[in-house]
A and B are shown apart, each in its own frame.
Chain A
Amino acid sequence: MSVPSETFKSLVKAAAEQVIASAPELTSLDQAIGDGDHGTNMKRGCEAVLGKLDAISAQPLDEAFKMIGKTLVMTVGGASGPLYGSFFLAAGEALSHDKHLPEDLADVFGSAVNAVSARGRSHVGEKTMLDVLVPVLETLKTAAGQPDLIARVRATATDAVERTAPMQATKGRASFLGARSVGHVDPGARSSCVLVQAVCAGLEARA
């Protein structure tokens, strides 16, 4: 099996456009517990990806993921650049080493999540994007092959974002706030959810 390049292109486009549309919300979340630049940073990165989308989707899938990663690294301008960049670089790397989409989705996603964890020296429960990505990974593993996989991934991502609100941040800028970070949804968790939901919606539309 493989992922047709047109499918890949439409999913990347949908995800990038959804993040761009969510930029004001991401910025407002980040103003509460960070430095207020997550929305504009992600928007800049996603616009750069959209600008190169033809070149990206002309590549083999592994190289396409790496190009997305490198573009985000070079254009986002905040910590989320290397974090999301490492996610896509590692996914591309996994695909260069005998992993294939869609059948190895959980493995590829797992490699990508591990790269985020290593880059941020962070783990689940620290009020970061990992608090969405790790639960989504678990669902990808446990519900693999199930007819309701996409619905379960969507529900997992939405629940996971809300669960970051009561967490106290111990990584990133929000950790400076200590207990005052409690009560706010993490902006990185939100942007991860936006990406996951956009890809799921794109897949549902094609199903």
Chain B
Amino acid sequence: MTETVGIVIVSHSSDIAKGTADMVRQMVGSEVKVAFCGGNPDGGLGTSVQLIIDAINAAWSPKGVAVLVDLGGAETNSEMAVEMLEPARRDLVVVCNAPIVEGAVMAATEAAGGSTLAQVKAVAEELSAD
């Protein structure tokens, strides 16, 4: 199987993260690795740097990983998680500035076609362009 860019979905809510991942799998299929996480370290609404690191490693691909986030803290914690990865992986992970559901579906669709990490990020971020 050809390697594709992996997708990570990070929401404050584990329900939203799981639901988004379900939509990606149904619409794009299983050839793209998708991992998700939601909830703070106590399981309440929020995000957890450790869970984000685990999700990135679970979706790992040599082509890199695109991370889709919902609100502020999810983005800040995702950026922190990327910096805490092992050095060889850090430069192969991007946090996309895109709406979480549409961005994840568009990014996974692009990734399924074998696109590069930069292409996957660009397609997801087109959704945020005016």
A residues near B, CB below 8 A?
Answer: 35, 37, 40-41, 44, 73-83, 85-86, 119-120, 172-173
Q: With the chains together, A83 CA to B77 CA distance in Å? A: 9
B23 contacts the other chain (Cβ, under 8 Å)?
no
In the complex, the 9 A-B pairs of residues with the closest C-beta atoms, listed nearest first: A77-B40, A79-B73, A77-B46, A82-B80, A79-B76, A78-B73, A82-B76, A77-B41, A79-B72
Q: How large is the interface on B (under 10, 10 to 19, 20 to 34, 35 or more residues)?
A: 10 to 19
- Chain A residue nearest to B43 (CB atoms) is A77
Q: Is the interface of A mostly helix, strand, loop or mixed?
A: helix
Q: With the chains together, A35 CA to B76 CA distance in Å? A: 15
Which B residues touch A41, using CB under 8 A?
40, 46
- Chain A residue nearest to B12 (CB atoms) is A35
Inter-subunit contact B50/A120 (CB<8 Å) = no
B125 contacts the other chain (Cβ, under 8 Å)?
no
Inter-subunit contact A82/B40 (CB<8 Å) = no
Which B residues touch A172, using CB under 8 A?
72
Known pairs A73-B80, A77-B42, A77-B48; list 20 more (Cβ under 8 Å).
Answer: A35-B45, A40-B44, A41-B46, A74-B41, A77-B40, A77-B41, A77-B46, A78-B47, A78-B73, A78-B77, A79-B75, A79-B77, A81-B73, A81-B77, A82-B76, A82-B77, A82-B79, A83-B76, A85-B80, A173-B71
Which A residues touch B42, using CB under 8 A?
44, 77
B8 contacts the other chain (Cβ, under 8 Å)?
no
Assuming the contacts A77-B40, A79-B77, A82-B79, asked whether A37 and B45 have C-beta atoms less than 8 A apart, the reply is: yes
Assuming the contacts A44-B42, A173-B71, asked whether A77 and B47 have C-beta atoms less than 8 A apart, the reply is: yes
Q: With the chains together, A37 CA to B80 CA distance in Å? A: 19
What 0/1 pattern do residues 53 to 83 of B give for CB contact below 8 A with A? 0000000000000000001110111011000
User: In angstroms, how far is the closest chain A Cβ from the Cβ of B4?
Assistant: 29
13 A-B interface contacts by CB (under 8 A) = A40-B44, A44-B40, A44-B41, A73-B84, A74-B49, A74-B50, A76-B40, A77-B40, A77-B48, A78-B77, A81-B49, A82-B77, A82-B80
Which A residues touch B40, using CB under 8 A?
37, 41, 44, 76-78
Q: With the chains together, A76 CA to B41 CA distance in Å? A: 7
User: In angstroms, how far is the closest chain B Cβ from the Cβ of A30?
Assistant: 12
